[in-house]
Chains A and B, each alone.
Chain A
Amino acid sequence: MTELENLTRQAQAEVRGSIPIALTEDQSEVARVMQICNACRYCEGFCAVFPAMMRRLEFNKADVDYLSNLCHNCGACLHACQYAPPHEFGVNVPQAMAKVRVQTYGDYAWPAGFGKLYKRSGLTLCVALAAGLALFLVMLKAVQGELFHGPGGGSFYAVFPHNTLALMFGVVFVLAVVALGKGVARFWREVSPGAATGPAVAEAAHDALRLKYLDGGHGKGCNNEDDAFTLQRRRCHHLTFYGFMLCFASTCVATLYHYFLGLEAPYPAASVPVLLGSAGGIGLVLGTAGLWRLNLRRAPEQGDTAQRPMDRGFIALLFLVALTGLLLLALRDTGAMGLVLALHLGCVMALFLTLPYGKFAHGIYRGAALLKWAIEKRQPNKLQLGSD
């Protein structure tokens, strides 16, 4: 950009406020669709996207990114839309927003270059999985000499030393948390929502943990294959999410046992880590299987079909993590223990590696958008539309 252009833009900025950032094609589509929705508003009872839209007359990049991440892709507004294709207005809110969502994950990703991984998320995930499995199988071979061991399993740490595992997973997990944290922090700064209050945080947490916006606004649920409402997506997501959290809790408790009580895995079947992990694993297996089935049946116009590798890859990986975890529990006293442990750890490593560059990011960005909405709705509305 030339000096003169720079000066001109600065001068314009002083007169008009900030320079509008050019929108990408996908962002422009969301802005276009929101302009139509804002003049119609029939869908405002379905979710938070429409009330948030109504507080705006124009949709710049930050607004588009925010609204797109607030959208839960429930599909209700598409099936109810009088302007949906074949109407010439061609309004498809969930699809337009899905396309922007994956763009925001990439745009805000840290380190910046890694954002490209979202575009080939299926491939990223496969490579991570292959790498994770190969790593642990090679380690197993090195330690055990062969993949199967004689009868009588026993200590995991005889196969892979505890400290080695703790270091490997600890480092990767911290990196993933930092990467996601940095990305969502940039997103948060751009949408400039104001200060979070206790009630706003509580409401956002409530809405996220209950998946409020998959209930359709009437409690009958969201859409999947057609205009009929179903609670299955919400329930399967709950099974998946809470299953994941139970597994995470199991790991945390086991870590406490190890370092503070001096108790080493494997733990007895009735112990807290095994109970938490089993319940979580079963939840994950059932939840992801259900989400997979629903995803296969999802109406193609709902959301962005180009993201299916990312969605299904993540679902499949979670399923594999849970399945191998349950198998490990079942086979831990057999000669297959070492092999199953390697498979499980390989899957978990792939999951950790791809946390900041795959579908997992949706939870973090959506949580941030929900918090912004909870803050914003408590602020006075600047618009005074006449018909009120």
Chain B
Amino acid sequence: MLDVLVVGGGNAALCAALMAREAGASVMVLEAAPRPWRGGNSQHTRNLRCMHDAPQDVLIEAYPEEEFWQDLLKVTGGITDEHLARLVIRASSNCRGWMRKHGVNFQPPLSGALHVARTNAFFMGGGKALVNAYYRSAEQLGVQIRYDAPVASLDLRDGRFLAARLENGERIEARACVLAAGGFESNREWLREAWGRNERGEWPADNFLIRGTRFNQGVLLKFMIDAGADIIGDPSQSHCVAIDARAPLYDGGICTRIDCVSLGVVLNRDAERFYDEGEDFWPKRYAIWGRLTAMQPGQAAYSIIDAKAVGRFMPPVFPGTQADTLPELARKLGLDENRFMQTLNDYNAACRVGTFDHTALDDCHTEGIAPAKTHWARPIDTAPFFGYPLRPGITFTYLGLKVDETAAVRFNDKPSDNLFVAGEMMAGNVLGKGYTAGVGMSIGTAFGRIAGTQAAAAAQRN
């Protein structure tokens, strides 16, 4: 009989498979996607948040455990588990040698990402290159890999894993199992239910785009919830950013982001501003604009800039709607021209321009309008004008299975003897809400490796 069955094919699954194989177990990976789409959301990632006490190859200065923990505490608003969080943080400090051994290459921080040069180690070529490296290494080590192999259910007995059942009915037994099959963000029905109906009678989730894989349908998550596994997290919590409304429904990845929010104003469908666009540096704020946009009518928003902003933000993948006058821009965007002009005129009149500096929290701000724009406020008055349509884009959901430091799945607070979980399926233990760049990969790598080791040990016990 097979020792370890790994359900899933992304970073956490591969880390588990490699660790289990290195521990001497026979291992099979079941990836739901066909080969070209393998790797789940990991193929869209780009870095790993890493604790380090001194400069390390691509990482500059230091990022000590305490600072990492405080960052996590801040973004989650305390909805985290300190014990598990610190375990992830410490693991992030010493996993990169192992990653390199399996073929992952690191590169200095990408341009436009220098704000994380100290905290995040970037994968050369991005997450798909990492996924490719892990698959190559796994194949070389003799891990069996099956694509197009979505698992529909598990056979469990008294909290013990017996076998997995594929959608085609095939039953695969193993001595131990690691679940690393992602969140449920690609399941439109579930998202709809989780976000519910708002006071306007809309189903907000119907207008969400999914930034990652279409294969994270949450089938196993739902199965485990129904099977009575202990769960953690709020189904409406996720990594959610404002992305270009023209992005594809799935797999838009990084390039659909719109980085000019802080250089202009953002209006909703009613041509009204709704939040301080200049509250803080964009990299520190981009993750709240998904939710902000989700709260607007039609879950739509428009980032408006003028010629002064061109060349000052990461180039967007889709060209903006361009116009030589503001009324023309309003018409082209399909917004009410009068309200649009009133909002823009009010904003322009309220700007108190000091010394503009988009690399600092400068003194350009508004007075007398609500919401205020507290930095980088300059009148939008120089043609040509550009508008970019925004929509909420979900990266991954936080609802997951509750774990302790062994990564064991729990039933009524009792750990399973041979069933483990890693990656997005349990990231909610550490990440109750909010996000900080690269921490998803830190969690996936740490718990993937733990789950693999534990599963191999469980297989040897049984």
Q: In the assembly, what is the distance between CA of A228 and CA of B46, in Å? A: 19
Contacts of A216 in B (CB 8 A): 105
Asked if B107 and A217 sit within 8 Å, CB to CB, the answer is yes
| Residues of B245-290 contacting chain A, CB below 8 A | 248, 251, 253-257, 259-260, 262-263, 282-283
Given contacts A39-B316, A82-B43, A386-B282, whether A44 and B311 have CB atoms under 8 Å apart is no
Q: In the assembly, what is the distance between CA of A51 and CA of B315, in Å? A: 14
Asked if B126 and A57 sit within 8 Å, CB to CB, the answer is no
Q: In the assembly, what is the distance between CA of A387 and CA of B109, in Å? A: 12
Instruction: Indicate if B114 sits at the interface (CB-CB under 8 A).
Output: yes
Q: In the assembly, what is the distance between CA of A77 and CA of B125, in Å? A: 7
Mark each residue of chain B from 105 to 142: 1 if its CB lies under 8 Å from any CB of chain A, else 0: 10110111111000000111111110010001000000
Asked if A82 and B312 sit within 8 Å, CB to CB, the answer is no
- How distant is B19 from chain A, measured CB to nearest CB, in Å? 22
Q: In the assembly, what is the distance between CA of A41 and CA of B263, in Å? A: 21
Q: Which of A83-91, A113-121, A147-155 contacts B (4 or more CB under 8 A)?
A: A83-91
- How distant is A104 from chain B, measured CB to nearest CB, in Å? 24
Contacts of B124 in A (CB 8 A): 45-46, 217-218
Mark each residue of chain B from 23 to 52: 1 if its CB lies under 8 Å from any CB of chain A, else 0: 000000000000011000001101000000
Chain A residues touching B, range = 35 or more
Contacts of A38 in B (CB 8 A): 315
Instruction: Indicate if B313 sits at the interface (CB-CB under 8 A).
Output: yes
Instruction: Indicate if B152 sits at the interface (CB-CB under 8 A).
Output: no
Q: In the assembly, what is the distance between CA of A220 and CA of B262, in Å? A: 40
Give the residue name and chain of the B residue nearest to A80 (CB): B125
Q: In the assembly, what is the distance between CA of A80 and CA of B132, in Å? A: 8
Residue in A42, A83, A216 with the greatest tally of chain B CB atoms within 10 Å: A42
Instruction: Indicate if A384 sits at the interface (CB-CB under 8 A).
Output: yes
- How distant is A241 from chain B, measured CB to nearest CB, in Å? 26
Instruction: Indicate if B359 sits at the interface (CB-CB under 8 A).
Output: yes
| Residues of A52-87 contacting chain B, CB below 8 A | 54, 57, 76-77, 79-83, 85-87
Instruction: Indicate if B317 sits at the interface (CB-CB under 8 A).
Output: yes
Instruction: Indicate which residue in A36, A77, A86, A387 contacts B115 across the interface (CB closer than 8 Å).
Output: A387
Given contacts A82-B127, A220-B105, whether A385 and B314 have CB atoms under 8 Å apart is yes
**Interface residues of B, CB < 8 Å — how many?**
48
Instruction: Indicate if B160 sits at the interface (CB-CB under 8 A).
Output: no
Q: In the assembly, what is the distance between CA of A387 and CA of B260, in Å? A: 9
Contacts of A80 in B (CB 8 A): 125-126, 128-129, 132
Mark each residue of chain A from 344 to 363: 1 if its CB lies under 8 Å from any CB of chain B, else 0: 00000000000000000000
Contacts of A166 in B (CB 8 A): none
| Residues of B41-65 contacting chain A, CB below 8 A | 43-44, 46
Asked if A46 and B125 sit within 8 Å, CB to CB, the answer is yes
Q: In the assembly, what is the distance between CA of A165 and CA of B343, in Å? A: 82
Instruction: Indicate if A189 sits at the interface (CB-CB under 8 A).
Output: no
Instruction: Indicate if A35 sits at the interface (CB-CB under 8 A).
Output: yes
Contacts of B111 in A (CB 8 A): 41, 44, 51, 54, 385, 388
Q: In the assembly, what is the distance between CA of A76 and CA of B103, in Å? A: 14
- How distant is A386 from chain B, measured CB to nearest CB, in Å? 4
Instruction: Indicate if B352 sits at the interface (CB-CB under 8 A).
Output: no
Residue in A35, A76, A227 with the greatest tally of chain B CB atoms within 10 Å: A227
Asked if B126 and A43 sit within 8 Å, CB to CB, the answer is yes
Mark each residue of chain B from 409 to 432: 1 if its CB lies under 8 Å from any CB of chain A, else 0: 000000000000000000000000
Asked if B107 and A387 sit within 8 Å, CB to CB, the answer is no
Instruction: Indicate which residue in A44, A228, A387 contacts B314 across the interface (CB closer than 8 Å).
Output: A387
Give the residue name and chain of the B residue nearest to A91 (CB): B255
Asked if A386 and B259 sit within 8 Å, CB to CB, the answer is yes
Given contacts A80-B125, A82-B251, A386-B262, whether A39 and B317 have CB atoms under 8 Å apart is yes
Contacts of A42 in B (CB 8 A): 46, 110, 123, 125-127, 129, 254
Instruction: Indicate if B358 sits at the interface (CB-CB under 8 A).
Output: yes
Q: In the assembly, what is the distance between CA of A80 and CA of B263, in Å? A: 32
Contacts of B256 in A (CB 8 A): 39
Q: In the assembly, what is the distance between CA of A81 and CA of B132, in Å? A: 11
Asked if B317 and A45 sit within 8 Å, CB to CB, the answer is no
Q: In the assembly, what is the distance between CA of A83 and CA of B317, in Å? A: 12
Asked if B312 and A386 sit within 8 Å, CB to CB, the answer is yes
Asked if A83 and B125 sit within 8 Å, CB to CB, the answer is no
Instruction: Indicate which residue in B105, B132, B263 contacts A218 across the interface (CB closer than 8 Å).
Output: B105
Give the residue name and chain of the A residue nearest to B46 (CB): A42
Mark each residue of chain B from 316 to 327: 1 if its CB lies under 8 Å from any CB of chain A, else 0: 110100000000
Contacts of B262 in A (CB 8 A): 386
Give the residue name and chain of the A residue nearest to B359 (CB): A388
Given contacts A77-B125, A217-B124, A227-B132, whether A385 and B44 have CB atoms under 8 Å apart is no
Asked if A383 and B132 sit within 8 Å, CB to CB, the answer is no
Instruction: Indicate if A382 sits at the interface (CB-CB under 8 A).
Output: yes
Instruction: Indicate if A19 sits at the interface (CB-CB under 8 A).
Output: no
- How distant is A49 from chain B, measured CB to nearest CB, in Å? 13
Contacts of A227 in B (CB 8 A): 129, 132, 136
Instruction: Indicate which residue in B136, B283, B319 contacts A387 across the interface (CB closer than 8 Å).
Output: B283
Give the residue name and chain of the B residue nearest to A88 (CB): B248
Q: In the assembly, what is the distance between CA of A82 and CA of B43, in Å? A: 6
Given contacts A41-B112, A79-B132, A87-B251, whether A385 and B125 have CB atoms under 8 Å apart is no
Contacts of A386 in B (CB 8 A): 259-260, 262-263, 282, 312-314, 358-359
Asked if A384 and B312 sit within 8 Å, CB to CB, the answer is yes
Instruction: Indicate if A174 sits at the interface (CB-CB under 8 A).
Output: no
A-B contact pairs, 29 of them (CB 8 A): A35-B315, A39-B254, A39-B256, A39-B257, A42-B129, A45-B105, A45-B107, A46-B124, A51-B111, A57-B311, A76-B129, A79-B128, A80-B128, A82-B251, A86-B36, A89-B248, A217-B105, A218-B105, A218-B124, A228-B136, A384-B312, A386-B259, A386-B260, A386-B263, A386-B312, A386-B313, A387-B259, A388-B112, A388-B114
19 additional contacts (CB under 8 A) given A42-B129, A46-B124: A39-B255, A39-B256, A39-B315, A40-B126, A42-B125, A46-B125, A51-B111, A77-B125, A80-B129, A82-B251, A89-B248, A216-B105, A227-B136, A385-B312, A386-B259, A386-B282, A387-B112, A387-B314, A388-B112
Chain A to chain B: the 9 pairs with minimum beta-carbon distance, closest first: A42-B126, A80-B125, A45-B107, A39-B255, A80-B129, A39-B317, A227-B132, A218-B105, A386-B313
